[in-house]
Amino acid sequence: MAVDHAQAGLRERKRLATRRAIEFAALGLVAEKGLERVTVDEISRIADISPRTFFNYFTSKESALVGDAPELPPAEAIDAYVHYSAGSVFDGLGTLLADATEGESHDTELLLLRRGLLKEYPQLFAMRMTAMRAFEEQLREVIALRLVADDPHLASDPKLVLSRSRLITHVAFGAMKHAWSCWADNEGGVVLSERLKDSFAELGRILAPAHAT
């Protein structure tokens, strides 16, 4: 998990380099010729590996394009969220998710190429979301903890906790998608984590004061 890439043996470094070469070749080719007109053979040729090796790194052409799912932020950040207990369940979620996506920022070049593609090909965006299933479930567990922390009575009704945490997770992912599309629309700077906070803030504004129009 999140190994320090600087020094980890030749083998590890080579593997990382190959991985990046494949992603780079794939993203570049698709940006240039369009998703349908790029084959694994071609990607492999550019990345200078055999087509067979491509599939040692990625399970499909698409998975080389969409990137990995984020990881949950460190335990302290999670604890802070779980025991925040001021404002609604959603209030801290934007920050939490922002922290989670922060980790991806290291490879800006790939990040921007990918942003363009995910915007151009909604199918790829959908695949990326699908790839976050595990992350989604982890987040749901965190939310369940928060629900019980907010209202200890709930602990006696695990089914309700499950149902509510699911609903909130789905809604939070909705806000995340929104943040992502705003971020992708906006050619300029603005980091994703900021957009995330904005989207959650807007969600709060739309929902909570529904009567105080």
What residues make contact with a copy of itself under the rule CB under 8 A?
Answer: 87-90, 122-123, 126, 129-130, 133, 151, 163-164, 166-168, 170-175, 177-178, 181-182, 199, 202-203, 206-208, 210-211, 213
Whether the Cβ atoms of residue 64 and residue 58 lie closer than 8 Å to each other:
yes
182 binds, among a copy of itself, DNA, none (CB under 5 to 8 A by kind): a copy of itself
Whether the Cβ atoms of residue 60 and residue 40 lie closer than 8 Å to each other:
no
52 binds, among a copy of itself, DNA, none (CB under 5 to 8 A by kind): DNA
- Report in angstroms how near the CB of residue 201 gets to DNA at its nearest: 39
10 binds, among DNA, a copy of itself, none (CB under 5 to 8 A by kind): DNA
Tokens describing residue 118: 């995910």
49 binds, among DNA, a copy of itself, none (CB under 5 to 8 A by kind): DNA
Nearest to DNA of 39, 85 (CB atom):
39
Whether the Cβ atoms of residue 71 and residue 2 lie closer than 8 Å to each other:
yes
Q: Which of 5, 39, 83, 123 binds DNA (CB under 7 A)?
A: 39
Q: Does 41 bind DNA (CB under 7 A)?
A: yes
Q: Does 52 bind DNA (CB under 7 A)?
A: yes
Alpha carbons 165 and 151: distance in angstroms, whole number: 13
Using DSSP, state whether 106 is helix, strand or coil: helix
Place of tokens 């992502």: 180
Whether the Cβ atoms of residue 146 and residue 90 lie closer than 8 Å to each other:
no
Whether the Cβ atoms of residue 136 and residue 168 lie closer than 8 Å to each other:
no
Place of tokens 């629309």: 185
Residues within the interface to DNA (CB under 7 A): 9-12, 14-15, 18, 38-41, 49-53, 55-57, 59-62
